[in-house]
Chains A and B, each alone.
Chain A
Amino acid sequence: SQQGEEDPQALSIQEGENATMNCSYKTSINNLQWYRQNSGRGLVHLILIRSNEREKHSGRLRVTLDTSKKSSSLLITASRAADTASYFCATDGGSNYKLTFGKGTLLTVNP
């Protein structure tokens, strides 16, 4: 399967701490995207990283990509209670038109 798999499945931290989530995938990709989903809501796009990029930043988010290890990580710095959500990576498996989502990491940020 070309589905990404996030690790850990669940993560609980205190406000102000950093949160790191990892995504591993099996087939070569063109692009990898990260999304956030608040409980019972739709997904919100966070960041896209191309296969020829190694790192991208957006505000408090930092994404890295290691294509040799077929893995990506999402770092949220100085977390806030409002960051509590599920985080999904989505890969295209080289298809360039279809995203396949992982099962997600449930992040809980305690105030």
Chain B
Amino acid sequence: DAMVIQNPRYQVTQFGKPVTLSCSQTLNHNVMYWYQQKSSQAPKLLFHYYDKDFNNEADTPDNFQSRRPNTSFCFLDIRSPGLGDAAMYLCATSRDRTTTYEQYFGPGTRLTVT
């Protein structure tokens, strides 16, 4: 019973070629998060949606964008991937935005930039 689904699991893109990663959820949660995790590092929050309200982290590069067309789906767009953007991208959801609620993570998409 998958709750947070990420597609694809592995994505290879070329330097500078736009790429879109997708996330869907069956939990009907209000909040959806995107994290970037590089090897042996902490997951780093890029941005989150609270319902339709988009919240960008101050240090997230402009190269990263997101869309949430409905409650169930959220997309991460990387407009011009660089070699430094190779990482695992994790989508997570939460019932509400307060940290009294746990986050549910998808399995991640591993992005390779060639």
Interface on A for B, CB 8 Å cutoff?
3, 30-31, 33, 35, 40-45, 48, 50, 88, 92, 95-104
B108 interface residue per 8 A CB criterion:
yes
A-B contact count (CB 8 A): 61
Q: Tell me the interface secondary structure of chain A in the complex.
A: loop
Which residues of chain B are near A98, meaning CB under 8 Å?
A: 45, 48, 99
Interface residue ranges of B34-78 to A (CB < 8 Å): 40-45, 48
CB atoms of A99 and B45 under 8 A apart: yes
User: What are 6 residue pairs bridging A and B, where the CB atoms are less than 8 Å apart in the complex?
Assistant: A40-B88, A40-B110, A44-B105, A97-B97, A97-B98, A98-B45
B4 interface residue per 8 A CB criterion:
yes
Of the four ranges (under 10, 10 to 19, 20 to 34, 35 or more), the interface on chain B belongs to: 20 to 34
B90 interface residue per 8 A CB criterion:
yes
- Give me the 8 closest cross-chain CB pairs, A-B, nearest first: A42-B105, A45-B102, A92-B99, A101-B42, A43-B105, A97-B97, A31-B99, A42-B107
CB distance from A36 to the nearest CB of B (A): 10
Interface residue ranges of B86-114 to A (CB < 8 Å): 88, 90, 92, 97-100, 102-108, 110
> Contacts A88-B42, A97-B99, A98-B99; is A41 near B104 (CB within 8 Å)?
no
Alpha-carbon distance between A33 and B94 when the two chains are bound, in angstroms? 13
CB distance from B55 to the nearest CB of A (A): 9
